[in-house]
Every structure is written in structure tokens, then in C-alpha cells.
Amino acid sequence: MSSEEKKVIDLSYLQEVASDNSDFMVEMIEIFLAQTPEYMSTLEEAVNTQTWAKIAEMAHKIKPTLAFMGALEAKESMASIEARARGQEDYEGIKKDFAVLKEDFRQIFAGLEQKRAELLG
């Protein structure tokens, strides 16, 4: 990992919950990889149209899965987006934070796909 890259996932929590059961870990990773892109797409549309309630709803849906996958910085950013959307404040900040999260999600997905491949052998 280069000094410019940030660590976006830490699967130690998932490993602990799964008791290192690789089949369970693969299943959880696959669920995240299948569901989250749709949620992110819906969130992006809500951000682009400044639909406060939908921004808050989707951020709320995505946030716990980020914690489960060990993407704690992304989870905190998502929590901040949710809180600001609920208060209908700082739309420009939400847009900026969402743009950063989109890049983080590329890294999260790449890391999870790599871990899935490792677990499948």
C-alpha cells in the first residue's frame, strides 16, 4: 500500500463474527457487493436532485453495512451525510463528501473482491 492510499476496509470484525468461517464471510461479502451498488446509485440520484429525505434514508441503509465490512471512515462519512440530510443543511458539503465516498467505494469493492477471491481459493 503506498503512502497515498488509505486503508478503507478492515475485515477483523467480520472475521470475528464469522468465527473465521470462510463460507459465511464470502456470503456476507457477496451480499454487500450485490446490494450496495444499487443503494449507492439511489443515494447518488438523491444527492444530485437534493432530495433530503431520500439522501438520509439511503445513507442510513448503507451505514451499518460499512461498519460490518470494516470501512469505518466511510461509515463515519455516511453518518455525517445522513445527519446533515436530516437537518437539511450543508448540501454542498454533502455533495463533496459523497464524491469522496464514491472513490472510497471503488477501493472498498476492490478490497472485498480480492478478499472474496482469496477465501474461495
CA dist., res. 69 & res. 58, Å (int): 17
Q: pTM for this structure?
A: 0.89
Q: Residue 43: which of 59, 64, 27 has the closest Cα?
A: 59
Question: What three-state secondary structure class fits 9?
Answer: coil
pLDDT at 2: 37
In contact, 78 and 48? CB cutoff 8 Å: no
pLDDT digits (tens, 9 = 90+) for 15-61: 999 998 999 999 999 999 999 999 999 999 999 999 999 999 999 99
CA dist., res. 10 & res. 116, Å (int): 14
Per-residue confidence band for 5, with pLDDT thresholds at 50, 70 and 90: very low
pLDDT digits (tens, 9 = 90+) for 54-87: 999 999 999 999 999 999 999 999 999 999 999 9
In contact, 48 and 61? CB cutoff 8 Å: no
